[in-house]
């Protein structure tokens, strides 16, 4: 989610423009990198594979979900490191593991343990910064002050990682051994998602829409709604008069629009106006089913509690999951589907 900032779409005084009146999003150049995809040498633990298959995730689907997760995080790359602009010190890897949340340290420790001839591998791939990156100070959770100072010293005046650290982190995270570590970490995340799905949607069919929604929630926000919040929301939805049903959902989209217009929401400038027009169109055309309706409200509850940078990414969380739920939407300027163009 820390990837994409753009300029706001220009709107008329009448409010959100129709989608066909908005300027098309400029295509985002695809970087040269080792791209996330299935490879024969990558292993998945057989027991984990069997349990994931129960929710529709066979080997091919696991790597499809990995690739999908990596698109908003790293434009589909295995590495794509970034610096401390969002307070996470360093973020790198297909799921943007980072020092700030403590998700990067286990990945680095796993590579150190499993690479074989660690000292030689470290010197070959990261001769300048490897000693710092794998130091006790940088593998601690949270990182210690000595590590923080060293990492920040590797940033340029523009606040970005310098070319050397960028290249060394890329070399590590594009290595075969680190691809296996990232695969293991992602499979572990999917195993957690499996448990979350069975709790959040207890007694309901586990559709691929729900699987994709849950993965994005886990990657971006780390955890799901508590049972008490789920029960409260579902109680309110069950008691809602049918006459209020669509006005209540429009209110959620109004909230999202207001966030998109506000001064301190990032990552949605190219997306929010188009999304609002598309999603309101879906209400008007009766194209939102009961599963989507509930999931949009679940997304609303979780998005409004996105606290990173004091709520800076709340609209982006709703953009990402709204697109997954509805099958139409724009994230990072990439538009899929078109309600207004469908009769």
pTM (2 d.p.): 0.81
**13, two tokens:** 């005084």
Position of tokens 């401390």?
Answer: 84
- 204 Cα distance to chain centroid: 25
Residue 291's contacts (CB-CB under 8 Å, 6 or more residues apart) are 207, 209, 210
Contacts of 181 (CB under 8 A, 6+ apart): 107, 110, 111, 114
CA atoms of 28 and 236, how far apart (whole Å)? 41
The answer for residues whose C-beta is within 8 angstroms of residue 92's C-beta and 6 or more apart is 79, 80, 81, 82, 98, 104, 169, 173
Yes or no: say if 297 and 256 are a contact pair by the CB < 8 Å rule.
no
Decide the pairing of beta strands 97-98 and 91-92.
Answer: antiparallel
CA angle 194, 318, 307 (to 5 degrees): 85
Strand partners of residue 329: 336
The one-digit pLDDT tens for each residue of the chain (343 residues) are 443 332 222 222 233 333 344 445 555 566 799 999 999 999 999 999 999 999 999 999 999 999 999 988 899 999 999 999 888 899 999 999 999 989 999 999 999 999 989 999 999 999 999 999 999 999 999 999 999 999 999 999 898 999 999 999 999 999 999 999 999 999 999 999 999 999 999 999 999 999 999 999 998 888 898 999 999 999 999 999 999 999 999 999 999 999 999 999 999 999 999 999 999 999 999 999 999 999 999 999 999 988 888 999 999 999 999 999 999 999 988 899 999 886 4
Please state, in angstroms and rounded to a whole number, the distance separating the CA atoms of residues 107 and 118.
Answer: 14
Question: In this structure, are residues 221 and 317 in contact, taking their beta carbons and an 8 Å threshold?
Answer: yes
Q: Give the separation between CA 284 and CA 339, rounded to whole angstroms.
A: 10
* DSSP structure string for 20-72: GGSPPPPPPPPPPSPBP---TT----HHHHHHHHTTT--HHHHHHHHHHHHHH
């Amino acid at each position: 989610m820390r990837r994409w900032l753009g300029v706001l779409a220009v709107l008329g005084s009448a409010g959100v423009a129709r989608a066909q009146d908005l300027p098309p999003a400029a295509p985002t150049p695809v970087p040269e990198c080792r791209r996330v995809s299935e490879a024969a040498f990558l292993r998945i633990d057989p027991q984990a594979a069997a349990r994931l298959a129960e929710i529709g995730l066979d080997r091919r689907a696991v790597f499809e979900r990995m690739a999908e997760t990596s698109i908003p995080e790293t434009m589909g790359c295995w590495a794509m490191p970034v610096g401390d602009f969002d307070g996470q010190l360093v973020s790198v890897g297909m799921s943007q593991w980072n020092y700030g949340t403590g998700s990067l340290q286990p990945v680095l420790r796993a590579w150190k343990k499993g690479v074989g001839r660690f000292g030689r591998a470290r010197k070959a791939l990261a001769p300048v910064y490897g000693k710092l990156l794998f130091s006790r100070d940088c593998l601690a959770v949270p990182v210690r002050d000595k590590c923080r100072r060293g990492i920040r010293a590797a940033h340029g005046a523009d606040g970005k990682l310098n070319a050397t650290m960028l290249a060394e982190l890329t070399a590590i995270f594009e290595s075969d051994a680190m691809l296996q570590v990232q695969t293991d970490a992602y499979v572990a995340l999917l195993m957690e998602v499996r448990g979350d799905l069975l709790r959040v949607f207890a007694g309901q069919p586990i559709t691929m829409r729900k699987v994709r929604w849950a993965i994005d929630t886990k990657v971006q926000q780390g955890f799901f709604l508590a049972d008490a919040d789920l029960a409260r929301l579902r109680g309110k939805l069950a008691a809602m008069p049918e006459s209020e049903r669509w006005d209540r959902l429009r209110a959620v989209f109004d909230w999202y629009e207001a966030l998109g217009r506000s001064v301190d929401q990032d990552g949605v400038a190219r997306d929010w106006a188009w999304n609002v027009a598309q999603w309101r169109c879906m209400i008007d055309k009766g194209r939102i089913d009961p599963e989507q309706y509930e999931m949009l409200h679940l997304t609303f509850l979780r998005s409004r509690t996105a606290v990173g940078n004091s709520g800076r990414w709340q609209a982006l969380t709703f953009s990402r999951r709204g697109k997954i739920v509805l099958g139409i939407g724009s994230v990072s300027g990439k538009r899929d589907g078109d309600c207004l163009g469908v009769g």
